[in-house]
Amino acid sequence: MDSDTELNMSWEDEFIRSTDCEITYSPEPMDKIRIQLLYVNTENQIHHSEIQSHPLTIISDLSGSEFSDSAIMRIIMSNRNFQNKRYKCESISQYCLSIEPTNLFDNPHVCIDHKPYFKTIDLPRTIHIPPSLFIFHSINSIWFLFRELELIKPTIQPIVSIIKNQSNTQPKKTKRVRISSEPPITIFGKTRKRF
């Protein structure tokens, strides 16, 4: 068989590792991560969801991997238009189960709380992905929430002329003022003009 028609058997290694319960594996850095894109319309309803897979940069076996800020910006810029509508990236969240194998296998009734494993990311920054057990690699993900932008319809105001209509205005009255050096005379509380 040539290379184009050969079957991809990489899933077999993962299946054997997950069914082999006697060996406790150590956390491993991830080489790719699942990206979940959620599109929310103006009525706050999720009307579209999309899953993608993106490569990660492995730092080391102990430090884990990272998802660069430039890759995040590329995802945002390439997915902000959907079905002829414009969206903005409202939030980015990371879900990464990085539980220690001893905590998982020693306690059969372990309860995994989401609080230490789910967090919201402030932009722009590189996202650090800690090493995790290989069985959680398909669950670990980054969520992008895109919200539809509402179009604001401009209100059309009637055009008003800046030139006043002369036919509606009354003729101006001129008030005449005379300046005198003598003060006015007051008679019974009223001021009288001098002529």
Distance, CA of 21 to CA of 179 (rounded, Å): 111
Distance, CA of 181 to CA of 119 (rounded, Å): 84
Nearest Cα residue to 124 out of 98, 89, 78: 89
134-188 per-position pLDDT tens digit = 878 888 999 999 999 987 777 777 777 666 655 556 667 777 777 777 776 666 6
pTM over 0.75? The answer is: no
| DSSP codes joined into one string, the chain | --TTTS---HHHHHHHHHH-TTSPPPPB--SEEEEEEEEE-TTS-EEEEEEEEEE-EEEETTTEEEE-HHHHHHHHHHTSEETTEEEEEEEEEEE-----HHHHHH-TT----STTTEEEEPSS-PEEE--B-GGGTTT-EEEEEEEEPPPPPPP-PPP--SSPPTTSSPPPPPPP----SSPPEEETTEEE---
pLDDT computed for residue 74 by the predictor: 93
Give the residue extent of every domain in the chain. 30-148
pLDDT computed for residue 120 by the predictor: 87
* Lowest-pLDDT range of 12-16, 45-49, 69-73: 12-16
pLDDT computed for residue 142 by the predictor: 93
pLDDT band (50, 70, 90) for residue 109: low
